[in-house]
Amino acid sequence: MYNAELPPELARLVAHRLKDDKRSLQNASLISSTFRGPCQEVLFEELQLECPNRLRPTSYHPGPPLLSIIEQSPFLAKYVNAISIKDDFWEYSGASWRPGWFSKDEVLPCALKKILSCGKIKRFELAVGPPYSLAQPEWWCELPALHVEVLSEMCRSPYLTELTLNGSPIELSYLCPPLLKRLAVRETFEMNSILPPDSSTSEVQGETKIQELHICPVTDISKKFDISHLQTLKAGLYLDIRREVKNLHRLLEQCGSSLRTLSVADDRPGLHGRRWWELGGCIQQLSLSMQDRLEEIAFDVRVMLNHSIGDPVAAFLRVLETLPPSNSLQWIHLVLRFDWKYQMNDLDGTTQFPNEGWRQLNVSLRERMEKLQCFHIEFKNDPDIREFIRVRGRAESMQRRMEAFFLSLEGVRSGWITWKFTL
Protein backbone atom coordinates (compact mmCIF):
# COMPACT_ATOMS: atom_id res chain seq x y z
CA MET A 1 0.00 0.00 0.00
CA TYR A 2 1.54 3.32 -1.10
CA ASN A 3 0.56 6.15 1.23
CA ALA A 4 3.78 8.14 1.82
CA GLU A 5 2.12 11.35 0.62
CA LEU A 6 -1.19 10.77 2.41
CA PRO A 7 -1.97 13.82 4.62
CA PRO A 8 -2.42 13.03 8.36
CA GLU A 9 -5.91 14.59 8.30
CA LEU A 10 -7.01 12.15 5.61
CA ALA A 11 -5.52 9.20 7.51
CA ARG A 12 -7.53 10.21 10.59
CA LEU A 13 -10.68 10.53 8.50
CA VAL A 14 -10.21 7.01 7.09
CA ALA A 15 -9.58 5.62 10.59
CA HIS A 16 -12.78 7.19 11.95
CA ARG A 17 -14.75 5.79 9.01
CA LEU A 18 -13.54 2.32 10.09
CA LYS A 19 -14.60 2.90 13.71
CA ASP A 20 -17.14 0.06 13.71
CA ASP A 21 -14.76 -2.39 12.00
CA LYS A 22 -12.22 -3.30 14.69
CA ARG A 23 -10.50 -5.97 12.61
CA SER A 24 -9.80 -3.56 9.75
CA LEU A 25 -8.51 -0.96 12.21
CA GLN A 26 -6.14 -3.49 13.75
CA ASN A 27 -4.87 -4.65 10.35
CA ALA A 28 -4.36 -1.09 9.11
CA SER A 29 -2.40 -0.15 12.24
CA LEU A 30 -0.07 -3.13 11.72
CA ILE A 31 0.71 -2.83 8.00
CA SER A 32 0.99 0.93 7.59
CA SER A 33 3.00 3.44 9.63
CA THR A 34 0.81 6.25 8.28
CA PHE A 35 -2.34 4.65 9.68
CA ARG A 36 -0.80 3.27 12.89
CA GLY A 37 -1.35 6.35 15.04
CA PRO A 38 -4.83 7.28 13.76
CA CYS A 39 -6.07 3.68 13.98
CA GLN A 40 -4.70 3.17 17.49
CA GLU A 41 -6.34 6.41 18.54
CA VAL A 42 -9.74 5.13 17.38
CA LEU A 43 -9.18 1.63 18.80
CA PHE A 44 -8.35 2.91 22.29
CA GLU A 45 -10.63 5.95 22.53
CA GLU A 46 -13.36 3.88 24.24
CA LEU A 47 -12.54 1.17 26.77
CA GLN A 48 -15.41 -1.29 27.30
CA LEU A 49 -15.01 -3.73 30.18
CA GLU A 50 -17.81 -6.30 30.11
CA CYS A 51 -17.66 -10.08 30.31
CA PRO A 52 -18.18 -11.47 26.77
CA ASN A 53 -19.08 -14.93 28.06
CA ARG A 54 -22.15 -15.16 30.31
CA LEU A 55 -21.37 -18.76 31.22
CA ARG A 56 -18.05 -17.97 32.92
CA PRO A 57 -18.14 -14.42 34.27
CA THR A 58 -15.73 -15.14 37.12
CA SER A 59 -13.01 -16.12 34.64
CA TYR A 60 -13.02 -12.65 33.08
CA HIS A 61 -9.97 -10.69 34.27
CA PRO A 62 -9.24 -7.77 31.91
CA GLY A 63 -6.88 -6.11 34.40
CA PRO A 64 -3.63 -8.07 33.71
CA PRO A 65 -3.66 -7.77 29.89
CA LEU A 66 -4.76 -4.12 30.07
CA LEU A 67 -1.97 -3.25 32.51
CA SER A 68 0.56 -5.06 30.31
CA ILE A 69 -0.50 -3.07 27.23
CA ILE A 70 -0.31 0.27 29.07
CA GLU A 71 3.11 -0.53 30.56
CA GLN A 72 4.54 -1.59 27.19
CA SER A 73 2.99 1.33 25.28
CA PRO A 74 2.21 4.13 27.78
CA PHE A 75 1.24 6.54 25.00
CA LEU A 76 -1.91 4.48 24.31
CA ALA A 77 -3.42 5.65 27.62
CA LYS A 78 -3.71 9.21 26.33
CA TYR A 79 -6.10 8.02 23.60
CA VAL A 80 -8.70 6.76 26.12
CA ASN A 81 -11.52 9.28 26.65
CA ALA A 82 -14.42 6.94 27.51
CA ILE A 83 -14.61 4.00 29.94
CA SER A 84 -17.51 1.60 30.47
CA ILE A 85 -17.55 -0.98 33.28
CA LYS A 86 -20.44 -3.45 33.38
CA ASP A 87 -20.79 -6.39 35.75
CA ASP A 88 -24.29 -7.75 36.36
CA PHE A 89 -23.30 -11.43 36.48
CA TRP A 90 -23.71 -11.84 40.20
CA GLU A 91 -24.61 -15.33 41.40
CA TYR A 92 -27.34 -16.05 43.93
CA SER A 93 -26.18 -18.69 46.38
CA GLY A 94 -27.02 -19.47 49.98
CA ALA A 95 -29.65 -16.71 50.27
CA SER A 96 -27.07 -14.10 49.25
CA TRP A 97 -25.51 -12.63 46.14
CA ARG A 98 -21.92 -13.38 45.16
CA PRO A 99 -20.05 -10.60 43.37
CA GLY A 100 -19.14 -10.99 39.71
CA TRP A 101 -15.85 -10.38 37.93
CA PHE A 102 -15.18 -6.72 38.77
CA SER A 103 -14.43 -7.06 42.48
CA LYS A 104 -12.29 -10.16 41.86
CA ASP A 105 -9.95 -8.48 39.38
CA GLU A 106 -7.21 -7.22 41.70
CA VAL A 107 -5.08 -5.76 38.89
CA LEU A 108 -7.76 -3.69 37.15
CA PRO A 109 -7.69 -0.73 39.61
CA CYS A 110 -3.96 -0.31 38.99
CA ALA A 111 -4.48 -0.35 35.20
CA LEU A 112 -7.31 2.19 35.44
CA LYS A 113 -5.20 4.49 37.62
CA LYS A 114 -2.46 4.53 34.99
CA ILE A 115 -5.02 5.44 32.33
CA LEU A 116 -6.43 8.21 34.52
CA SER A 117 -2.97 9.68 35.04
CA CYS A 118 -2.43 10.02 31.27
CA GLY A 119 -5.82 10.11 29.58
CA LYS A 120 -8.60 12.66 29.51
CA ILE A 121 -11.70 10.71 30.54
CA LYS A 122 -14.76 12.53 29.20
CA ARG A 123 -17.37 9.75 29.45
CA PHE A 124 -17.78 7.15 32.20
CA GLU A 125 -20.44 4.44 32.51
CA LEU A 126 -20.72 2.22 35.57
CA ALA A 127 -23.11 -0.71 36.08
CA VAL A 128 -21.78 -2.97 38.83
CA GLY A 129 -24.18 -5.17 40.77
CA PRO A 130 -27.21 -7.43 40.36
CA PRO A 131 -29.55 -6.32 37.56
CA TYR A 132 -32.91 -4.54 37.75
CA SER A 133 -34.27 -3.61 41.19
CA LEU A 134 -31.83 -5.71 43.20
CA ALA A 135 -29.16 -3.08 43.84
CA GLN A 136 -28.64 -2.61 47.57
CA PRO A 137 -25.91 -0.86 49.58
CA GLU A 138 -24.77 -4.05 51.31
CA TRP A 139 -23.52 -5.47 48.01
CA TRP A 140 -21.37 -2.40 47.48
CA CYS A 141 -19.79 -3.06 50.87
CA GLU A 142 -18.29 -6.17 49.25
CA LEU A 143 -16.14 -4.05 46.93
CA PRO A 144 -12.45 -3.77 47.92
CA ALA A 145 -11.32 -0.29 48.98
CA LEU A 146 -8.98 -0.02 45.98
CA HIS A 147 -11.89 -0.57 43.58
CA VAL A 148 -14.05 2.06 45.30
CA GLU A 149 -11.14 4.49 45.24
CA VAL A 150 -10.53 4.18 41.50
CA LEU A 151 -14.27 4.55 40.75
CA SER A 152 -14.31 7.76 42.79
CA GLU A 153 -11.26 9.04 40.91
CA MET A 154 -12.98 8.23 37.62
CA CYS A 155 -15.96 10.39 38.58
CA ARG A 156 -13.59 13.17 39.61
CA SER A 157 -11.91 13.30 36.20
CA PRO A 158 -11.64 17.05 35.48
CA TYR A 159 -12.55 16.42 31.83
CA LEU A 160 -15.73 14.41 32.55
CA THR A 161 -18.75 15.66 30.59
CA GLU A 162 -20.97 12.55 30.67
CA LEU A 163 -21.69 10.13 33.53
CA THR A 164 -23.97 7.07 33.57
CA LEU A 165 -24.63 5.20 36.82
CA ASN A 166 -26.71 2.03 37.03
CA GLY A 167 -27.29 0.36 40.39
CA SER A 168 -24.63 2.52 42.03
CA PRO A 169 -24.43 5.02 44.91
CA ILE A 170 -25.84 8.38 43.81
CA GLU A 171 -23.04 10.07 45.77
CA LEU A 172 -20.60 9.16 42.99
CA SER A 173 -22.29 11.75 40.79
CA TYR A 174 -21.64 14.43 43.41
CA LEU A 175 -17.89 14.06 42.80
CA CYS A 176 -18.12 15.19 39.17
CA PRO A 177 -16.43 18.36 37.89
CA PRO A 178 -18.16 21.53 36.64
CA LEU A 179 -17.71 20.34 33.03
CA LEU A 180 -20.38 17.63 33.51
CA LYS A 181 -23.26 18.20 31.07
CA ARG A 182 -25.03 14.84 30.75
CA LEU A 183 -26.04 12.73 33.77
CA ALA A 184 -27.91 9.41 33.63
CA VAL A 185 -28.71 7.61 36.89
CA ARG A 186 -30.84 4.48 37.22
CA GLU A 187 -31.66 2.41 40.31
CA THR A 188 -29.21 4.42 42.37
CA PHE A 189 -29.27 4.60 46.15
CA GLU A 190 -27.83 6.75 48.92
CA MET A 191 -24.75 5.39 50.64
CA ASN A 192 -22.34 7.95 52.07
CA SER A 193 -20.22 5.30 53.78
CA ILE A 194 -19.14 3.71 50.48
CA LEU A 195 -17.05 6.72 49.45
CA PRO A 196 -13.56 7.59 50.72
CA PRO A 197 -13.41 9.91 53.77
CA ASP A 198 -12.14 12.85 51.68
CA SER A 199 -14.99 12.73 49.15
CA SER A 200 -16.75 15.79 50.64
CA THR A 201 -20.02 15.16 48.75
CA SER A 202 -21.94 17.36 51.18
CA GLU A 203 -20.79 20.46 49.31
CA VAL A 204 -23.23 21.77 46.71
CA GLN A 205 -21.82 21.54 43.19
CA GLY A 206 -23.33 24.86 42.14
CA GLU A 207 -20.93 25.32 39.24
CA THR A 208 -22.01 22.08 37.55
CA LYS A 209 -24.70 23.07 35.07
CA ILE A 210 -26.42 19.88 33.84
CA GLN A 211 -27.94 20.12 30.35
CA GLU A 212 -29.28 16.56 29.97
CA LEU A 213 -30.64 14.40 32.80
CA HIS A 214 -31.90 10.80 32.70
CA ILE A 215 -33.11 9.76 36.15
CA CYS A 216 -34.87 6.67 37.60
CA PRO A 217 -36.12 6.67 40.30
CA VAL A 218 -36.78 10.40 40.30
CA THR A 219 -34.85 12.17 43.04
CA ASP A 220 -34.39 15.88 43.62
CA ILE A 221 -30.79 16.46 42.53
CA SER A 222 -31.25 20.23 42.34
CA LYS A 223 -29.69 20.45 45.81
CA LYS A 224 -26.41 19.18 44.35
CA PHE A 225 -26.49 20.41 40.76
CA ASP A 226 -27.47 23.58 38.95
CA ILE A 227 -30.22 22.49 36.53
CA SER A 228 -31.33 25.97 35.53
CA HIS A 229 -29.83 25.26 32.07
CA LEU A 230 -31.38 21.78 31.71
CA GLN A 231 -32.58 21.14 28.16
CA THR A 232 -33.49 17.43 28.25
CA LEU A 233 -35.18 15.62 31.15
CA LYS A 234 -36.05 11.92 30.96
CA ALA A 235 -37.74 10.68 34.13
CA GLY A 236 -38.51 7.06 34.97
CA LEU A 237 -41.05 6.64 37.79
CA TYR A 238 -39.89 3.54 39.60
CA LEU A 239 -41.32 2.67 43.03
CA ASP A 240 -42.65 5.46 45.27
CA ILE A 241 -44.83 7.21 42.68
CA ARG A 242 -46.19 9.97 44.92
CA ARG A 243 -42.79 11.03 46.19
CA GLU A 244 -41.16 10.76 42.77
CA VAL A 245 -43.82 12.89 41.07
CA LYS A 246 -43.25 15.56 43.74
CA ASN A 247 -39.52 15.39 43.01
CA LEU A 248 -40.24 15.68 39.29
CA HIS A 249 -42.37 18.75 39.98
CA ARG A 250 -39.44 20.35 41.84
CA LEU A 251 -37.07 19.57 38.98
CA LEU A 252 -39.46 21.21 36.51
CA GLU A 253 -39.62 24.29 38.70
CA GLN A 254 -35.83 24.49 38.89
CA CYS A 255 -35.14 24.10 35.16
CA GLY A 256 -37.93 26.51 34.16
CA SER A 257 -38.01 27.78 30.60
CA SER A 258 -34.67 26.21 29.61
CA LEU A 259 -36.30 22.77 29.10
CA ARG A 260 -36.74 21.66 25.49
CA THR A 261 -37.52 17.93 25.84
CA LEU A 262 -39.48 16.13 28.58
CA SER A 263 -40.00 12.37 28.77
CA VAL A 264 -41.91 10.60 31.56
CA ALA A 265 -42.11 6.79 31.69
CA ASP A 266 -43.74 4.33 34.08
CA ASP A 267 -40.82 2.01 34.84
CA ARG A 268 -42.32 0.31 37.88
CA PRO A 269 -41.58 -3.43 38.03
CA GLY A 270 -44.10 -6.17 38.74
CA LEU A 271 -47.31 -5.34 40.60
CA HIS A 272 -46.53 -1.63 40.85
CA GLY A 273 -46.81 -1.25 37.07
CA ARG A 274 -50.45 -2.37 37.04
CA ARG A 275 -51.68 0.47 39.25
CA TRP A 276 -51.75 3.04 36.47
CA TRP A 277 -54.69 4.91 37.99
CA GLU A 278 -52.47 5.84 40.96
CA LEU A 279 -49.92 7.16 38.46
CA GLY A 280 -52.61 9.13 36.63
CA GLY A 281 -53.79 10.72 39.84
CA CYS A 282 -50.24 11.84 40.65
CA ILE A 283 -49.17 12.86 37.15
CA GLN A 284 -52.04 15.30 36.76
CA GLN A 285 -50.53 17.29 39.63
CA LEU A 286 -47.57 18.23 37.42
CA SER A 287 -47.46 21.73 36.02
CA LEU A 288 -45.68 22.88 32.86
CA SER A 289 -46.61 26.51 33.35
CA MET A 290 -42.94 27.57 33.31
CA GLN A 291 -41.94 25.48 30.27
CA ASP A 292 -42.83 28.00 27.56
CA ARG A 293 -39.97 26.79 25.33
CA LEU A 294 -40.75 23.08 25.62
CA GLU A 295 -40.65 21.59 22.11
CA GLU A 296 -41.15 17.86 22.69
CA ILE A 297 -42.99 15.83 25.31
CA ALA A 298 -43.31 12.05 25.67
CA PHE A 299 -45.36 9.91 28.07
CA ASP A 300 -44.92 6.13 28.26
CA VAL A 301 -47.38 4.49 30.66
CA ARG A 302 -49.17 1.21 31.35
CA VAL A 303 -52.95 1.44 31.24
CA MET A 304 -56.10 -0.65 31.65
CA LEU A 305 -59.35 -0.26 29.74
CA ASN A 306 -61.93 -0.21 32.49
CA HIS A 307 -64.80 2.24 32.87
CA SER A 308 -64.59 2.09 36.65
CA ILE A 309 -61.06 3.49 36.44
CA GLY A 310 -61.50 6.14 33.76
CA ASP A 311 -60.09 7.42 30.53
CA PRO A 312 -56.31 6.82 30.23
CA VAL A 313 -55.64 10.19 28.59
CA ALA A 314 -57.35 12.38 31.18
CA ALA A 315 -54.23 12.93 33.28
CA PHE A 316 -52.12 13.54 30.19
CA LEU A 317 -54.61 16.14 28.97
CA ARG A 318 -54.56 17.99 32.30
CA VAL A 319 -50.76 18.20 32.21
CA LEU A 320 -50.74 19.55 28.64
CA GLU A 321 -53.32 22.19 29.52
CA THR A 322 -50.93 23.68 32.10
CA LEU A 323 -48.61 24.83 29.29
CA PRO A 324 -48.67 28.61 28.80
CA PRO A 325 -50.73 29.90 25.83
CA SER A 326 -47.57 31.03 24.04
CA ASN A 327 -45.98 27.58 24.18
CA SER A 328 -43.48 26.15 21.69
CA LEU A 329 -44.66 22.52 21.69
CA GLN A 330 -44.03 20.81 18.33
CA TRP A 331 -43.99 17.05 18.97
CA ILE A 332 -46.03 14.85 21.30
CA HIS A 333 -45.39 11.12 21.76
CA LEU A 334 -47.85 9.09 23.82
CA VAL A 335 -47.14 5.38 24.38
CA LEU A 336 -49.87 3.32 26.08
CA ARG A 337 -48.95 -0.20 27.17
CA PHE A 338 -51.89 -2.56 27.68
CA ASP A 339 -51.44 -5.56 29.95
CA TRP A 340 -54.19 -7.66 28.35
CA LYS A 341 -54.05 -10.55 30.81
CA TYR A 342 -55.44 -8.32 33.59
CA GLN A 343 -58.40 -7.04 31.58
CA MET A 344 -59.74 -10.06 29.71
CA ASN A 345 -63.27 -9.21 30.82
CA ASP A 346 -62.96 -5.85 29.08
CA LEU A 347 -62.21 -7.50 25.74
CA ASP A 348 -65.52 -9.28 25.32
CA GLY A 349 -66.38 -7.40 22.15
CA THR A 350 -68.90 -5.09 23.82
CA THR A 351 -66.69 -2.79 25.89
CA GLN A 352 -66.53 0.64 24.33
CA PHE A 353 -63.14 2.24 23.91
CA PRO A 354 -63.22 5.28 26.28
CA ASN A 355 -63.09 8.07 23.73
CA GLU A 356 -64.34 11.27 25.37
CA GLY A 357 -60.90 12.12 26.73
CA TRP A 358 -59.40 11.60 23.30
CA ARG A 359 -61.92 13.97 21.74
CA GLN A 360 -61.18 16.62 24.36
CA LEU A 361 -57.46 16.12 23.79
CA ASN A 362 -57.91 16.51 20.05
CA VAL A 363 -59.81 19.78 20.51
CA SER A 364 -57.34 21.11 23.07
CA LEU A 365 -54.36 20.39 20.83
CA ARG A 366 -55.90 22.18 17.86
CA GLU A 367 -56.88 25.21 19.94
CA ARG A 368 -53.86 25.61 22.25
CA MET A 369 -50.83 24.17 20.41
CA GLU A 370 -50.35 26.47 17.43
CA LYS A 371 -46.85 25.18 16.64
CA LEU A 372 -47.67 21.48 16.99
CA GLN A 373 -46.39 19.47 14.02
CA CYS A 374 -47.08 15.88 15.07
CA PHE A 375 -48.97 13.98 17.76
CA HIS A 376 -47.91 10.32 17.63
CA ILE A 377 -49.82 7.71 19.62
CA GLU A 378 -48.48 4.18 20.02
CA PHE A 379 -50.38 1.27 21.54
CA LYS A 380 -48.20 -1.59 22.74
CA ASN A 381 -48.84 -4.95 24.32
CA ASP A 382 -47.09 -5.41 27.66
CA PRO A 383 -47.84 -9.10 28.14
CA ASP A 384 -46.96 -12.37 29.64
CA ILE A 385 -46.82 -13.98 26.20
CA ARG A 386 -48.57 -17.17 27.31
CA GLU A 387 -51.55 -15.16 28.56
CA PHE A 388 -51.57 -12.98 25.46
CA ILE A 389 -52.03 -15.98 23.16
CA ARG A 390 -55.32 -16.72 24.96
CA VAL A 391 -56.75 -13.25 24.35
CA ARG A 392 -55.18 -12.37 21.00
CA GLY A 393 -58.45 -12.58 19.06
CA ARG A 394 -60.24 -10.22 21.42
CA ALA A 395 -57.27 -7.86 21.52
CA GLU A 396 -57.36 -7.62 17.74
CA SER A 397 -61.07 -6.82 17.96
CA MET A 398 -60.28 -3.97 20.34
CA GLN A 399 -57.61 -2.78 17.91
CA ARG A 400 -60.15 -2.55 15.08
CA ARG A 401 -62.50 -0.49 17.26
CA MET A 402 -59.67 1.82 18.26
CA GLU A 403 -58.65 2.29 14.63
CA ALA A 404 -62.21 3.17 13.65
CA PHE A 405 -62.35 5.76 16.41
CA PHE A 406 -59.07 7.43 15.48
CA LEU A 407 -60.08 7.67 11.85
CA SER A 408 -62.99 9.82 13.02
CA LEU A 409 -60.73 12.45 14.59
CA GLU A 410 -60.20 15.62 12.61
CA GLY A 411 -56.46 15.63 13.34
CA VAL A 412 -56.05 12.28 11.59
CA ARG A 413 -57.63 13.58 8.40
CA SER A 414 -55.35 16.63 8.43
CA GLY A 415 -52.31 14.42 8.90
CA TRP A 416 -50.79 15.61 12.17
CA ILE A 417 -52.16 12.77 14.32
CA THR A 418 -50.49 9.42 13.66
CA TRP A 419 -50.79 6.15 15.53
CA LYS A 420 -49.29 2.68 15.60
CA PHE A 421 -50.47 -0.62 17.10
CA THR A 422 -48.00 -3.26 18.29
CA LEU A 423 -49.94 -6.25 19.56
pLDDT at 288: 93
Rounded to whole angstroms, how far apart are CA atoms 167 and 90? 13
The model's pLDDT over 101-152, given as tens digits with 9 standing for 90+, comes to 888 899 999 999 999 998 799 999 999 876 555 546 777 777 889 999 999 9
Architecture in CATH for domain 204-423: Alpha-Beta Horseshoe (3.80)
pLDDT at 272 over 50: no
Q: pLDDT averaged over the chain?
A: 78
Cis peptide before 65 (omega within 30 of 0): no
The model's pLDDT over 141-172, given as tens digits with 9 standing for 90+, comes to 778 899 999 999 999 999 999 999 988 888 89
Rounded to whole angstroms, how far apart are CA atoms 416 and 410? 9
Cis peptide before 217 (omega within 30 of 0): yes
pLDDT at 104: 87
Number of helical (H) and strand (E) elements in the chain, helices listed first: 13, 16
Q: What is the mean pLDDT of residues 306-330?
A: 77
The number of CA neighbours under 13 Å toward the Cβ of 378 is 14
pLDDT at 182: 96
pLDDT at 270: 56
Angle at 355 between CA 354 and CA 356, to 5 degrees: 110
Q: Could you tell me whether strands 91-93 and 96-98 are parallel, antiparallel, or unpaired per DSSP bridges?
A: antiparallel
Query: Is 378 strand, coil or helix?
Result: strand
